[in-house]
Structure 1
Amino acid sequence: MSYSYLPTTNAYRPARRQSTPPSLVKSVHDALPPWATQGVYSAVRTAKSQLNLYKSKDELKRLGLRTIQTLFTVTNGLIVLWICTLWWGERSVFRDSVDACTWNAWEKWPTNARPHHVAFIADPQLVDPHTYPDRPWPLSTLTVKFTDQYMRRSFSSMQHTLDPDSVLFLGDLFDGGREWSTPTSTSPEERWRKYKDDFWKKEFHRFVKVFLNPWSSQETQSTNSRGRRLIASLPGNHDQGFGSGVQLPVRDRFQNFFGKGNRVDIIGNHTFVSVDSVSLSSMDQPDPQTGSTGAGNGDGERPNQKIWQEPEDFLNAMKLHRGRAEMDELRFLGKPREGRLFKHEVTVPSEPTIYREDDPEIIGFPTILLSHVPLYRKPATPCGPLRERYPPSAEGLEEDEPNALKLSGGYQYQNVLTKTISNDIVSKIGPNLVHVYSGDDHDYCEITHREFSGSPKEITVKSTSWAMGVRKPGFVLTSLWNPIDPTTGASIDSQSPGSTLQNHLCLLPDQLSIFIYYGLILAFTLTVLLLRAVILALRKPEPTTPDPILPLTETPAVRTRARAVSITSSSNYQNNSSIKPGGLASRATNGNPRYTPPVSNDANGYPGFDYIEEADTSKWKASSSDRRRRGNDTLFGRVSGEFTGSVKSVARVALVWYFILVWRW
């Protein structure tokens, strides 16, 4: 605030100043750096100088019309169409698909709830030589490129828009992972034995590039006190084989890179139990060496025991695994750790003393089972209205064969687990099993298992790859909210079983439809440019050929006389001494073997000539540029020229823009 001095009163009084806010132009001017301001001034001066050249309003109107005609052309319009189309197909469609799945659009919790957000990804099955063995190059390479690009864009959009706290993969990370050789094993099929362990490691780096890099580059604040998680250790049949086809070196390689397939994790106050069901399925399959499914081999070892022993031991000790995981979570949340009091005295025990802690008890968090292969269900059990390939035949059907998972199997796969294996898993997991998530089928399926205690619901998650037989891939979002007492682990809210989680299917773009749309735009572009070329060619007047000034033909006599004169007046003579009196230059000097030297003089003493009449076989031939010009003067030539030039103009910009979008994913 400023003050003005009033001499009449010898006092200071505040003076009010009428201040006006700066204009928008001045604000922009003050915000720009000096070099940018000078550039703007220079552009304005140039524009003014150009406009000063046009004094009259008519000239300015003509200038504006010419500018509009230059900018708003059919070719430029198609270029803009392609720029918008490619941006939609390579960017907007992915963002719009994920934007439709935002958490607040479908989850329904109390206003004070802080749920834990989980994303389930199933069956990426990175395309490799095993996927399309008969597809030739470069189609095979383009398939790999576009499938990886599709999944990376989808996963990146999910991370940036939805930002889940945990990402869980449900197996089949690779398509031919079970086939690639290890240092101690080879593929059962001869044609895959050339792919060694190095090839599998390259595929692993592809997986890191497509999924792990976008996940690790996302900076976020997770609602989970343990931070964000990405778990991809659950194996699928394409990762290590199925049942008796599992090779232990292949399984060990997968676990060395991704972690144990059998594990217990506490996520969002829920107990997640991952079971290597593809290995456990070898328990009721025949041994490939003995063909037996019953008694052992004489040494007490049962068929396929080396394959199923690990997941079976894990299930048998489920109480211990669950108890430890849940107690560790409570300790992390603040429950004081119970210690042991030791006496500080020296004793000499007569026998060794072993101190053993009591097995931790299961607290009872809601339990969720993760299995790559779905659990057994009755034949023709319908999968619900969200199944893509075979929608329900009608509502409320108890059995719907087309809409159900087929209970079948084949080489290294089985659509569902057997009833024995399913009962073994569910019975040993323990109480409070509220939900099951599986993969393998590539399409969505949702059922309720009435045959198990608690009637857990199972969701078979869609494949996230557009090359797995579904037009619209997808993933499942799950919102977990289970507030507990950090001391006892008991749920604070009295809720019914299964009400602590909510699910939502998120669909991804139809990549095949995008390619079809590109094809339609291409056909539209070519049609418009062809019509444009025909119209311009018809409007262009036919060229007129003026009469030649000089004759285009000559008579044989004139042609012969001209040749004779050309000999006498040739400038190729080296010197005059080579010309003999009364004769012409020598044949060697002239270098023209087609004529004989003169042999006599005429009556006036001038050299005479012996004319030799030659048949002229030469023809008037147009040059290549002349022929091209004449071809362009025809209607077909004008249409072809206009069409080719306009196609090149549009394609040049569209292809550059497309490669930029593809290069930047």
Structure 2
Amino acid sequence: MQRLTVFLCCIWIGSLMYGEMVAFWRPYWKCSWPPLQQNLTEVPHSHEGFKVAVITDPQLTDYTSHGLTPGSFAVKAIQFFTDIYMRRSFRTSLLSFEPDEIIFLGDLFDGGPYLSDKEWKESAERFEHVFDQTQRGSKSRLTGIPVHYLSGNHDIGYAGFHSHKREVIERFEKVYGETNYRMKIGSVEFVIVNAQTLDGSMNENSTSSSWNFIQNISADANPLPRILLTHIPLYRPNDTPCGAYRSSPIINQRISNGRSGIQGIMYQNYLSEDTSARLLDLIKPILVLSGHDHDQCTVSHPTPNGPVIEHTVGTFSWQQGNLYPSFMLLSVSALSSSTTSNPEGIVSTNLCFLPMQTHIYLWYASLFIITVFLLLSWPTSGVDLSYCFRKLTELAATAIRTTSKGGVKVKDEDANYEYDMVWDAEGVMHLIRKGYSKLSNANHGEVRSSARGTVVARPAAKKQTTPESDSSCVQIESETNLEQIPKGPRMTKGKMSYIVQRLFRTLHNIAVLAAVNLPLYMMLLIKDWT
């Protein structure tokens, strides 16, 4: 039993070390910055380009996420395990790539529009802690990476919400900057739009402001290659395939309008078809990046200037319905657009997957069940593995010999055995084999007496069978000692004592496992949280 406990303890230590630490190194081992497809004769040998990491939909959970009581233990527990997963993913998985820029594609919070100013401020502080760049040890030079933000529907709501609660946009812009802006990285201009307002009424200030911004961009005489960043994906026909990275069913268009006097859109899965076509026509992007869907999707939009690829990046959180959270790496050319002519030479993308936290917790649960089962069922004296191995070897050898003979055991026609027919006091006949021998001409009879009756044995029955052992015997006692028969209550007490001993032994060994592994688990949590 001690060996089993030590073995299980090692399994638990290995599982915790992998699930809480090593799993977050794997994205760095398996993923890499995508190369730019450029003509080497046109590109200087020292050119590396700019490296941009893209994150979307972290959606910090709060009491609005699951309809729970604010401040309850359930809310705090969900927040902690969701936040520490994203903190580990950001600090260990993403920052290890040493990006030059980081972009969030919206939905920083979950209940953003419905939170009070105090609750919203607390969520903003949580966000800052989860995606903190400081205290990186030997990689402290990574601190201060420029970060750019988009607004999402879970941050500021849709156009119908802005008509009666404009302050949600104002408090977002106060902390994270404007919701419509442009920026230049390398030789590419990134255009960020407040997609939640684009399908609203032009009478609304937020909608008219967004379209005026887009119109001004389209008036540029010599624009740089552009990448359009929008939280809500562009329109796509229903059931459009999303590519090999999609893990959940396709989500089709759904638009909900306001009720009870609220005007405008309150929810939509994609931008409308007219709005999408107008965006592509005015901005003329070479690439579109979006979020909102929580799952990965790659589609192609036809335009007069050629097809435009849109990548919808999956959520960064394991609590948002996607078993395979992800982020995207962008390589952006530092050369002018005149140096290279193809879009692949200007920007290149690579999707990277984070650890599957749900699977890790399922493994913990399965391992716990296996642990309890083994501790309950393991023999007290242990298991002789060498003996088991010898028996398995013998069984395998027997099976091989049987198979080599055609799989049928050959019957020996000459092997006949002699049996006695024995009748007991109740008149029931029994066949008793006398021994392994050939038939002989000698017949004999025997009469046995007992206190209860007469048993007669006659050597008249002969039967053919396969050889087994030398001989069998029957012993009939004249009297039965009833006191030697165990009674029901005594059997029950013995079983109860056995069960109690097993349970006590199991709890003792579980306590030993917990004493070793719980401090390790807490240490790993504290290490990544502080």
Is the pair's TM-score, using the shorter chain for normalization, greater than 0.5?
Answer: yes
Runs of 4+ in 1 over 6 A off after TM superposition: 630-633
Task: Tell me the CA shift for residue 94 of structure 1.
Answer: 1.3
Aligned to 2:507: 644
The alpha-carbon distance between structure 1 residues 420 and 634, as it changes in their structure 2 partners (threshold 3 A), is closer
Return the match for 2:347 from 473, 486, 501. Answer: 501
Aligned to 2:522: 659
The alpha-carbon distance between structure 1 residues 644 and 112, as it changes in their structure 2 partners (threshold 3 A), is same
Once the two structures are superposed, the pairs formed by residues 202-351 of structure 1 within 5 Å of their partners are: 202-213=122-133, 219-220=140-141, 228-232=145-149, 234-246=150-162, 247-283=165-201, 303=203, 305-318=204-217
The alpha-carbon distance between structure 1 residues 634 and 447, as it changes in their structure 2 partners (threshold 3 A), is closer
The alpha-carbon distance between structure 1 residues 221 and 201, as it changes in their structure 2 partners (threshold 3 A), is closer
Query: Aligned AA for 2:60?
Result: L
Once the two structures are superposed, the pairs formed by residues 421-500 of structure 1 within 5 Å of their partners are: 421-429=275-283, 431=284, 433-484=285-336, 490-493=337-340, 495-500=341-346
Q: Deviation string for 1:474-513 (max 9, x for gaps)?
A: 01111112412xxxxx5223x2234311111111111111
Does residue 201 of the first structure (1) align with residue 105 of the second (2)?
Answer: no
The alpha-carbon distance between structure 1 residues 452 and 124, as it changes in their structure 2 partners (threshold 3 A), is farther
Task: Tell me the CA shift for residue 130 of structure 1.
Answer: 1.0
Task: Tell me the CA shift for residue 214 of structure 1.
Answer: 5.1
Q: Distance in 2 between matches of 1:81 and 1:521?
A: 9
3-state SS of the aligned residue for 2:286? strand
Query: Aligned AA for 2:338?
Result: S
Task: Tell me the CA shift for residue 634 of structure 1.
Answer: 4.2
Aligned to 2:103: 168
The alpha-carbon distance between structure 1 residues 386 and 205, as it changes in their structure 2 partners (threshold 3 A), is same
Q: Distance in 1 between matches of 2:120 and 2:241?
A: 38
Query: Aligned AA for 1:258?
Result: Y
The alpha-carbon distance between structure 1 residues 216 and 660, as it changes in their structure 2 partners (threshold 3 A), is closer
Once the two structures are superposed, the pairs formed by residues 99-178 of structure 1 within 5 Å of their partners are: 99-103=29-33, 110=40, 112-134=46-68, 137-178=72-113
Q: Distance in 2 between matches of 1:367 and 1:229?
A: 19
Task: Tell me the CA shift for residue 215 of structure 1.
Answer: 9.3
**Bigger proportion of residues as strand:** 2
Task: Tell me the CA shift for residue 96 of structure 1.
Answer: 1.0
Q: Distance in 2 between matches of 1:644 and 1:434?
A: 63
Kept in 2: contact 1:268–1:482 (CA 8 A): yes
Aligned to 1:380: 239
3-state SS of the aligned residue for 2:63? coil
Kept in 1: contact 2:59–2:110 (CA 8 A): yes
Kept in 2: contact 1:159–1:215 (CA 8 A): no
Kept in 2: contact 1:632–1:641 (CA 8 A): no
Q: Distance in 1 between matches of 2:279 and 2:31?
A: 33
Kept in 1: contact 2:181–2:192 (CA 8 A): yes
Aligned to 2:6: 76
Query: Aligned AA for 2:195?
Result: S
Q: Number of aligned pairs?
A: 402
Kept in 2: contact 1:265–1:273 (CA 8 A): yes
Aligned to 1:635: 498
Does residue 91 of the first structure (1) align with residue 21 of the second (2)?
Answer: yes
Q: Distance in 1 between matches of 2:214 and 2:135?
A: 31
Supply the RMSD in Å over aligned alpha carbons: 2.8
Aligned to 1:553: none
Does residue 416 of the first structure (1) align with residue 279 of the second (2)?
Answer: no
The alpha-carbon distance between structure 1 residues 409 and 215, as it changes in their structure 2 partners (threshold 3 A), is farther
Kept in 2: contact 1:237–1:278 (CA 8 A): yes
3-state SS of the aligned residue for 2:21? helix
**Larger deviation, residues 207-216 vs 137-146:** 207-216
Once the two structures are superposed, the pairs formed by residues 574-593 of structure 1 within 5 Å of their partners are: none
Identity %: 30
Kept in 1: contact 2:243–2:298 (CA 8 A): yes
Q: Deviation string for 1:42-95 (max 9, x for gaps)?
A: xxxxxxxxxxxxxxxxxxxxxxxxxxx9xx722222222111110101111111
Using the size of structure 2 for normalisation, the TM-score is 0.70
Once the two structures are superposed, the pairs formed by residues 574-613 of structure 1 within 5 Å of their partners are: none
**Larger deviation, residues 652-661 vs 405-414:** 405-414
Any unmatched runs of 5+ in structure 1? 1-68, 181-195, 284-301, 324-360, 391-402, 485-489, 537-629
Aligned to 2:227: 368
The alpha-carbon distance between structure 1 residues 422 and 435, as it changes in their structure 2 partners (threshold 3 A), is same
Q: Distance in 2 between matches of 1:522 and 1:80?
A: 13
Q: Distance in 2 between matches of 1:311 and 1:132?
A: 32
Kept in 2: contact 1:533–1:640 (CA 8 A): no
3-state SS of the aligned residue for 2:349? strand
Q: Which has the higher contact order (CA 8 A, sep 6+)?
A: 2
Task: Tell me the CA shift for residue 416 of structure 1.
Answer: 0.8
Query: Aligned AA for 1:478?
Result: L
Query: Aligned AA for 1:145?
Result: F
Does residue 519 of the first structure (1) align with residue 365 of the second (2)?
Answer: yes
3-state SS of the aligned residue for 2:274? helix
Task: Tell me the CA shift for residue 221 of structure 1.
Answer: 7.1
Q: Distance in 1 between matches of 2:301 and 2:134?
A: 36
Task: Tell me the CA shift for residue 160 of structure 1.
Answer: 3.9
Q: Distance in 1 between matches of 2:142 and 2:367?
A: 43
Q: Deviation string for 1:582-640 (max 9, x for gaps)?
A: xxxxxxxxxxxxxxxxxxxxxxxxxxxxxxxxxxxxxxxxxxxxxxxx99994344333
Task: Tell me the CA shift for residue 426 of structure 1.
Answer: 2.7
Task: Tell me the CA shift for residue 220 of structure 1.
Answer: 3.9
The alpha-carbon distance between structure 1 residues 458 and 417, as it changes in their structure 2 partners (threshold 3 A), is same
Task: Tell me the CA shift for residue 200 of structure 1.
Answer: 0.5
Q: Distance in 1 between matches of 2:135 and 2:291?
A: 21
Task: Tell me the CA shift for residue 452 of structure 1.
Answer: 4.9
Q: Distance in 1 between matches of 2:161 and 2:269?
A: 15
Q: Distance in 1 between matches of 2:124 and 2:174?
A: 12
Kept in 1: contact 2:246–2:295 (CA 8 A): yes
3-state SS of the aligned residue for 1:172? coil
Q: Distance in 2 between matches of 1:663 and 1:121?
A: 25
Any unmatched runs of 5+ in structure 2? 258-265, 383-492
The alpha-carbon distance between structure 1 residues 636 and 531, as it changes in their structure 2 partners (threshold 3 A), is same
Task: Tell me the CA shift for residue 279 of structure 1.
Answer: 1.8
Kept in 2: contact 1:533–1:642 (CA 8 A): no
Q: Deviation string for 1:324-378 (max 9, x for gaps)?
A: xxxxxxxxxxxxxxxxxxxxxxxxxxxxxxxxxxxxx43x321000011111233
The alpha-carbon distance between structure 1 residues 75 and 108, as it changes in their structure 2 partners (threshold 3 A), is farther
Task: Tell me the CA shift for residue 123 of structure 1.
Answer: 0.6
Q: Distance in 2 between matches of 1:663 and 1:631?
A: 47
Q: Deviation string for 1:251-285 (max 9, x for gaps)?
A: 000000000011110012100000111122213xx
Query: Aligned AA for 1:464?
Result: F
Kept in 2: contact 1:102–1:161 (CA 8 A): no
3-state SS of the aligned residue for 1:212? coil
